[in-house]
A and B are shown apart, each in its own frame.
Chain A
Amino acid sequence: MNVSAAAHPGFLSPTGVEITFVLIGLATLGAALLTVTTRQLVHAALWLVVALGGLAVEYLLLTAEFIAWVQVLIYVGSVVVLLLFGLMLTKAPIGRSPDADSENRLVALGVGVAAAAALVWVVVDAFRTTWINLHGVAQGSSRATGESLFRHWVLPFEALSVLLLAALVGAIVLSRRDTGSPGSAAPSPAGATPAATPAADAPAAGKEHS
């Protein structure tokens, strides 16, 4: 850290990567803000895609290539789709809905701003002279990640697969229609579909890098 502090280049002479990072970061932040403020529910999901995609680019810029692709695959590819399914299944209104925000909005704004101010202050105060050296061996190449994952993190990895199985079963049980009351003739496979999706995706994510 001393080395990086001594070679601290300052904020006024940014490198190309930095400029790109900041620009993409601003876009990501804007998309995130729109996600939490827009009054159109489906738009919120779409803005979330933009924000998550922006984050994937940031991962790339940080040389974490594998993470970036997993991000795109799982978040943009499946989680957002799931969310959209959820919106559909809960009959979310399409178009502007005036009551998208609760009465808690002002309090939430206060808490959020205060938290942001405090955290930014702390983080900036702590890391303003820290420099990340992006040159040299890429930290997050697929090879490096795969080796570490299956050499050092095998056990948590397998435990995670059990967790995923449990989540799969749980989601199915939760979203099943009560078979005891066949009289309620609503569209029955509604719950089963979203539950199956993450289970199908997650092992795929695991197998991707093996």
Chain B
Amino acid sequence: MHLAYPAVLAVLLFCVGLYGVLARRNAILVLMSVELMLNAVNLNLVAFDVWLRDSLHAGQALTLFTITIAAAEIGLGLAIVLLVFRNRGSSDVDRLTGLAEPHGPGTPHGPDAPDATPAAAADDEKAEATA
């Protein structure tokens, strides 16, 4: 089999994941895109391992490690997203502008904004409205 096939597929998957990371608004969707990128790398690792017939199976071992670390990452990432959601009432990445220069129209929330509960409530209403 040509190495170009898996390599190109990995590149394309990676770039799709890249697009997702940059374009998606929901933090969980961003995490999904990150998973896509990791998988693209995994595919590369496996393909090159098979091609080089590595006697140590370094590529496959590393793939396994990556998968494990990705699982840990997704667990931690989701925990963080949940925390942010609880505090801010939103998990939209582009609204988390607490570190912005304080001049634009979107005045950022403080790190421990006292309006966490009302914001969550508002988000509840929004969620119900969309549903």
Which A residues form the contact surface with B (CB < 8 A)? 11, 15, 17-18, 21-22, 25, 28-29, 32-33, 35-36, 41, 44-45, 48, 51-52, 55, 58-59, 61-64, 66-67, 70-71, 74-75, 78-79, 82-83, 85-87, 89-95, 97, 99-105, 107-109, 111-113, 115-116, 119-120, 123-124, 127-128, 130-134, 139-140, 144-145, 148-149, 152-153, 156-157, 160, 163-164, 167-168, 170-171, 174-175, 184, 186, 190-191, 194-195, 197-199, 201-202, 205-206
* CB within 8 Å for A127 and B16 given contacts A36-B24, A104-B94: no
Contact residues in B for A75 (Cβ distance below 8 Å): 35, 39, 67, 70
Q: How many residues of B contact A (CB 8 A)?
A: 78
Contact in complex: B9, A58 (CB < 8 Å): yes
In the complex, whether B74 has a CB less than 8 A from a CB of chain A is yes
Contact in complex: B31, A83 (CB < 8 Å): yes
Contact in complex: A119, B25 (CB < 8 Å): no
Which B residues form the contact surface with A (CB < 8 A)? 1-9, 11-29, 31-33, 35-36, 39, 42-43, 46-47, 49-51, 53, 56-57, 60-61, 63-65, 67-76, 78-83, 85-86, 91-94, 117, 123-124, 126-127, 130-131
Contact in complex: A167, B76 (CB < 8 Å): yes
13 A-B pairs whose Cβ atoms sit less than 8 Å apart in the complex: A29-B12, A35-B32, A36-B20, A58-B6, A74-B68, A86-B82, A97-B130, A109-B23, A120-B11, A131-B3, A144-B57, A194-B82, A198-B74
Known: A90-B81, A167-B73, A190-B82. 5 other contacts (CB 8 A): A33-B16, A86-B81, A103-B94, A119-B11, A198-B74
Interface of A is mostly: helix
Contact in complex: A21, B23 (CB < 8 Å): no
A33 to B130, CA, bound (A): 24
Residue of A nearest to B73 (CB): A167
Contact residues in A for B21 (Cβ distance below 8 Å): 108
Contact residues in B for A79 (Cβ distance below 8 Å): 35, 70-71, 74
A130 to B80, CA, bound (A): 43
- Distance to closest chain B CB from A208 (angstroms): 10
Contact residues in B for A28 (Cβ distance below 8 Å): 9, 13
Contact residues in B for A145 (Cβ distance below 8 Å): 57, 60-61, 64
Contact in complex: A64, B46 (CB < 8 Å): yes
Contact residues in B for A87 (Cβ distance below 8 Å): 28
